[in-house]
Each structure stands twice: as structure tokens, then as C-alpha cells.
Amino acid sequence: MKLPPGALAGIRVLDLSRVLAGPSSTQILADHGADVLKVEPPSGDETRTWGPPFDAQGTASYYHGLNRNKRGITLDLNTEAARAKVLELLADSDVLVENFKTGTMDKWGLGWPVLREQFPRLVYCRVTGFGADGPYGGLPGYDAAIQALVGLMSVNGEPDERGGKPLRAGVPVVDLATGLNAALGVTLALFERERNGRGQFLEVALYDVGLTLLHPHTANHLMDGRIPKRTGNDHPNISPYDVFPTGSEPLFLAVGNDRQFSQLCLGIGAPELAFDPRFTSNALRSKHRAELRPLLEAALARHEGKALAVQLLEAGVPCAPIQDIAAALEDAHTAHRGMVVQVGEHYRGIGSPIKLERTPPSYRLPPPPGPDH
């Protein structure tokens, strides 16, 4: 079956990036039709070793999750011949993505001041930890350290009164969001190039992206000066918004307005709570959340969690049972949305969430084999 051309069909990307943020951005571009050539050193991208699990060739699943739809080549950029090859490849490329330590590309004679003269239509995307200058400029950045530095860990975890401590998010959220922003930045630059025919340099720093992920905590602090505290699964601005026990498995409730609260109370057989003067608005529910919680728990204890979740969702109440990864991947809706994809016999991965009507994503190539294969 012939695959439809993607939205980025005809765009050629030279991917010099490694680990997570850069490769995730280029995989997004590749899923939507870009021809991505991944350049690895002779030792390979280090995520090939980040396992178990490993495939039959010894490549870790971590690498597989970030590098499909790419062709591969091995180059030692410490050599003059390899750098000459990069220049040769750039002559036919629209986009360059790299995440080397700041100054490395300039040292190799491949920095933006040089490349923009030789390749005026090139879009050059640099992914960094902190940017090139400023107090932290040029320092290496890593997801967990950025989470700590920008305040993400300070608001993640159980509160002090429950014995909680700051926690790293269970996924590399800063790296992944940086990849999304890098892919968005590349497409913005390509769109702008259509207007004036020139490429441009763009930089996406993990530090900047980490700060953008702190809503609503930064918005709250900038308005009233409060320093946010850890609230576990609870929400600082909304109530009820937390995990609640039921007669079976726990349920996450995310009740964002008064109509939803009224429907929740009706659905759990406690309609009177919606008229209690302590709970008639979100502001009041937030103020009296400690009083509201045991009343909800008492009503929820009479229900089976998964069945109640379906009933409440149909009534317009945001909620869900807490599933593990296996259950989520096996969920019928995951299959319906085409979110687990297969390429060939041995590769399975998570599909693109961007569902364009005329130019949908496609899954054409498994990740490149290792340098020794």
C-alpha cells in the first residue's frame, strides 16, 4: 500500500543530535514525511546502551522509542573528512538539528556564522541546556537537574504534612517538551522561509522549556507572590481534583466547574453536596476542600470505580481509573486511535498524536541499525 505524502514531504533534515530532546524532535518531523538522516559517532548514540530491555542486536528500547523513520550514517566529526561530509550533506538539506555542547560546532567550523553564508536557506536548530550565554550559559543541561533548578520538583510530590519530599516527574518531561518545542520551532522557521526565501537560526533551551511547564504555579506566584507548595495529586486552584478511593480501584476526579460538580454529586448519590453553601463554587470548594473530601469518600465507597468512571464521563465529569502502562497500551481506545504502531516484524512504538486529515503521519522505517550492523 502506497503511503500518502506527509505534511513535510520533500523536507530534508540532517540530525546530528543524540539522547532525547533532539532525536524526539526529529522523529516528529520524520513521522510527518521529512527525510531525516541521523548521524551517529562510531560508538553510537548513547541511548543504544540505556537498557534493559535490548533487542536481538543489543540496542536498547530507549533508542527505539526516539529514532524511527530515520536513515542512519556513522561519522566521526572529530575528523576533517567527516566534517567535509557534513558540508556535502548540508548542500541538499533544509534543516540541521544538533545538541552538542555550546561552541563545539564552531570549533569544527560548522557553526551558524559559517553555515548561514554557505547555505542561506538552511534552518539551523540548536537544542541546549541553558543557551549559549547568561549566568548558566554553555553549561550542560539534563532533564532531572533542570526539573530541580526551575522548581518542578518543588511542586511535585506529597505535601510536607504527609511526609513528602520533592520528586522528579516519572517521565523526562522537560526533554520531551523541549523536543516538541524544537519541532514546532523548525516548522515555524520553514513556514517563514516560504515568505522570504531565507533560513534562520533557532535555539530551544531545556531551562526555558522547564519554566514554561510550571503553569499555574508561576502564574499564581507572579500574581500574589505565594510560593507554591507540594499538594500531591491535589490541585492548587481546583477542587475536587485528586485521587479518591472507591469501593474497588481508586478514581481520579478532575472537576473544573460547578456543573461538573453537580453532576458528580448526582452520579455518586449525594446530590445534596452540590447545594451545601460550603461547596457551591470552586473558590468555596477549594477553601473547604478538607471538609469536602470525607463526604465524597463516603459516597464513593458505595461504587465500583471503573463502572462509575464510565457513568461520570458520560455525564460530562472528567475522571478516570488509574491504569498501569500495560493496561493503557491494551486499552481499546489506544487501538482505535492507532497509538501503537508497527514497522516490519520487530519494531513497535507509540504513534504520532498529530492526526492531519490529508497528510497523516506514516511509519516507514524502523530505527537505524547500530554502527556495527
Active site residues: 175
Q: From residue 159, give the alpha-carbon distance in Å to each of 13, 153, 164, 277.
A: 45, 12, 5, 28
Question: 338 Cβ partners below 8 Å, 6+ apart?
Answer: 351
Contacts of 24 (CB under 8 A, 6+ apart): 66, 175, 176, 179, 180
Q: What are phi and psi of 351, to 5 degrees?
A: -75, 170
Contacts of 156 (CB under 8 A, 6+ apart): 147, 166, 167, 168, 169, 230
The residues, any chain, with a CB within 8 Å of residue 10's CB and separated by 6 or more, are 33, 35
Nearest alpha-carbon partner for 22 in 154, 182, 157, 131: 182
Q: Comparing C-alpha atoms, which of 303, 313, 245, 240 is closest to residue 269?
A: 303
Q: Is-contact 28 362, C-beta < 8 A?
A: no
CB 303 within 8 A of CB 268: yes
Number of H helices, E strands in the chain: 15, 11
